[in-house]
Amino acid sequence: MSFKTISKWLDGQTENIIELETLLTSHPALAPESGGQGEAEKCKALEEWLTAQGITQLERFDAPDGRVACGYRPNLVATIEGKNDKRTVWVIAHLDVVPVGELSLWSSDPWKVYEKGGKIFGRGVEDNQQGLCSGVFAALAFVKNGIVPENTVKLLFAADEEVGSAYGIQYLLKKHKLFRKQDIIIIPDGGDSKGETIEVAEKNLLWMKLVIRGKQAHGSMPNLGNNAYLAGCVLALKLNALEKVFKKRDKLFEPPYSTFQPTKKEANVPNVNTIPGEDVFYMDCRILPCYTLAEVRAEARKAIAEIEEKYGVKIKYSEEQAVESPATPVDAPVVTELTAAIKKVTGKKARPIGIGGGTVGGYLRIKGYNAAVWSTLDETAHQPNEYCKIKNLVQDAKVLAAIFGGKDL
């Protein structure tokens, strides 16, 4: 069988792609943190659909979670046996989605897919169902045409990516030995509209929580209190100024520098004429890999100590999330083979990049597994009227299929 056979089959799958996207979207897979019950219903629907299509070698790795009614968060692996098992080609997508946000900004029901102008609309259709479906249909191209891939292919449908992956990839890396160092690991959960960038590195991620405790007082008598809000404002500015301390630049990333941004702010006093005795805010810090989080923490502690002394407050520092991961080498097999497959399918020469956002790739790299993040998408994730271009999904499936077939396709 030639690649032309695979390509032609994928070109004819629009109706089935819409069917699967519609099915997945109809099961809102929201984390408990977002008021949902997790991914169980969506995972069950996907299992049934895959089985009906002929992908029957399925295995579940459920992470216990007492916050959801079923008591677990599902992680599903579908296997398509290859000619040899010297290495496995993994495609990792996530089942969970984010909330719809402001419903009035949607032109239709976010949980009911509709297709218009070659685009599929609905919550989750791009993030991450486009990548999920591209992996599924690339695998189905082999199953339906009776072709055995060069290496065993495994599709991992993970839980909990949108809220930190504690019940998804982090759980799997801690509790199960699924991956090998020689495996090819592709994560279709980020990219650009032309499919020309392969993410091989992530900035170190640090989410700080700062709780400032001062002394409450009447707004007309600030001398009798210690304004926690004022101290917090100054601290936010000092932490933001760390961008000038950690000032190196790296063109692999956009923006090419480390960022320290105050973001979430909790309510303090309910009335205008009270000096707040407590204030809480958060920092989203994305640091170039040339710096360690230990260096950043040390500078943050200096800033905290200065504010405590100057404003007579106590500051509690904690971390909502901290991820420090190495880069995948640009000459790693996953990068070179993905680059070759993109060239074969689209004629484009892809380039390696780094990103500021976090993906499951970071957790894999920490454990020594080279992973690459790639997809062709318009990045409508988390937005109202999220959409996926069908032609992008099909093209990405062809690229993955080219990797699955290897030198024999």
Return the active site residues.
96, 161
**CA 138 remoteness from chain centre:** 21
Helix count (H) and strand count (E) of the chain?
11, 19
CA 271, 274, 276, 277 dihedral sign is negative
CA distances from 3 to 159, 252, 402 (A): 33, 33, 7
Cβ pair 123, 189 in contact under 8 A: no
- Distance, in Å, from the CA atom of 25 to the CA atom of 112, rounded to the nearest integer, reads 7
- Distance, in Å, from the CA atom of 5 to the CA atom of 146, rounded to the nearest integer, reads 11
Cβ pair 357, 190 in contact under 8 A: yes
- Distance, in Å, from the CA atom of 9 to the CA atom of 139, rounded to the nearest integer, reads 12
- Distance, in Å, from the CA atom of 27 to the CA atom of 144, rounded to the nearest integer, reads 26
Please report how many Cα atoms fall inside a 13 Å half-sphere around the Cα of residue 87, on the Cβ side: 15
Question: Strands 72-73 and 63-64: what pairing?
Answer: antiparallel
Cβ neighbours, 10 Å, residue 174? 11
